[in-house]
Chains A and B, each alone.
Chain A
Amino acid sequence: MEFYFDSLADFWWMDGHGPFVWAAYSVTIVLFIALAFGPKLRKAKFIKQQRALAARQAPAERGSKE
């Protein structure tokens, strides 16, 4: 198996179909990257929220023990 195109310029242009092929791949790759990071960001946000909540509750709990 070898590189199908004669040159990198050829690979980029693809006999005029380059813009379509690269556009389709770009849309998909951007979408996949966004999908991949979604759960990570949501988890980080959740942990931040829970810590903020715990920090707010902590002084109240200490107060009730006294």
Chain B
Amino acid sequence: MAWQWFHRLGSPKWFYEKTARWTQVLGWLALAMLSVGVVWGLAFAPEELKQGNSYRIIYIHVPTAIVSMAGYYVMALSGAIGLIWRMKLSYMVMKSAAPVGAALTFAALATGAIWGKPTWGTYWVWDARLTSMLILFFLYLGVMALQEAYQNQESADKTCAILSLVGMVNIPIIYKSVDWFFTLHQPATLKLTEKSTIAPEMAYPLILMIFAVYIFYGWLVLSKTRVEVLHREAKTQWVKDIALGGR
């Protein structure tokens, strides 16, 4: 009885119907929070003492970086659930998470490079944090490429799940890289377990942006998974009804 929801969640039709409302809510919430966060960070937060205004890039750099790493867990664990319980829907989530994760990793790398120029005097260094983030980007691209490399969907799903799981070792490395290898990238300023080293009036918009990017991520993965469900269930009557009914 307790597991009933789990089996129902495995049904693509049930998932498609139940997530319709949620997707809309998340989408609008993400738009509102991102808009407020960006304006707050750009125009209302005070200037940073050492880095000046260039630090404002933090409001997009840190949230995209955090969610790109969390998103990797979403992808890898969806792959694992697919492998263990043979849940088709879980594989669809995995497939949807790859391009979103890749895009967020790209955003983190690009904004970091732009921030690096006025702060470090260079766009790129082979620092441990930067290099491990670049590897994360390639892992996402690898999963995306593997999806396309197979004719058979099941083989593609399984291989992608295995690659995702193997690549998971990279995440703690990225996370710890600023502490293990003290090179150029600064350590985290926002901490959960001890006192943060960022002023509260700078931290509030950052925390808002982190939540906003998480919600944006959730909305994107949900939307992509819904479309993926339609593709993979194209032969079923309920999808035909949607496609031909114009909903």
Distance, CA A32 to CA B108, complexed state (A): 12
B223 to chain A: closest residue by CB: A39
The residue in A21, A38, A54 that gathers the most chain B C-beta atoms within 10 A of its C-beta is A21
Tell which of B53, B100, B107, B246 touches A27, judged by Cβ atoms closer than 8 Å.
B107
Distance, CA A31 to CA B34, complexed state (A): 13
Q: Is the CB of B243 within 8 A of A47?
A: yes
B106, CB-defined interface residue at 8 Å: yes
Distance, CA A3 to CA B227, complexed state (A): 42
Could you tell me the dominant secondary structure of chain A's interface residues? helix
Chain B 43-76 near chain A by CB (<8 Å), digits 1 or 0: 1111100001110110011001000000000000
A27/B224 contact (C-beta < 8 A), A21-B54, A47-B243 known:
no
| Stretch of B113-121, B144-152, B182-190 lying at the A interface | B113-121
Q: Is the CB of B118 within 8 A of A20?
A: yes
Taking CB atoms, residues of chain B closer than 8 Å to A47 are: 242-243, 246
Taking CB atoms, residues of chain A closer than 8 Å to B239 are: 50
* Closest Cβ–Cβ distance, residue B32 to chain A (whole Å): 13
Q: Is the CB of B243 within 8 A of A20?
A: no
Tell which of A21, A43, A50, A51 touches B42, judged by Cβ atoms closer than 8 Å.
A21
Q: Is the CB of A27 within 8 A of B43?
A: no
Interface residues of A in 1-28 (CB under 8 A from B): 1-5, 11, 14-18, 20-21, 23-25, 27-28
B178, CB-defined interface residue at 8 Å: no
Q: Is the CB of B43 within 8 A of A3?
A: yes
Taking CB atoms, residues of chain B closer than 8 Å to A17 are: 52-54, 56, 118
Interface residues of B in 175-225 (CB under 8 A from A): 216, 220, 223-224
Q: Is the CB of B53 within 8 A of A18?
A: yes
Distance, CA A43 to CA B228, complexed state (A): 9
Taking CB atoms, residues of chain B closer than 8 Å to A25 are: 38, 42, 57, 60
Residues of A within 8 A of B (CB): 1-5, 11, 14-18, 20-21, 23-25, 27-29, 31-32, 34-36, 38-40, 42-43, 46-47, 50-51, 54
A11-B43, A25-B42 known, 7 other contacts, Cβ within 8 Å: A5-B43, A16-B52, A17-B54, A27-B114, A31-B103, A31-B106, A54-B244
Closest CB pairs A-B (n = 3)? A50-B243, A14-B53, A39-B223
Q: What are 24 A-B contacts defined by CB distance under 8 Å?
A: A11-B42, A14-B54, A15-B52, A20-B115, A20-B117, A20-B118, A21-B42, A23-B114, A24-B57, A24-B111, A24-B115, A27-B107, A27-B110, A28-B64, A29-B38, A35-B220, A38-B220, A38-B224, A39-B224, A46-B230, A50-B239, A50-B244, A54-B240, A54-B244
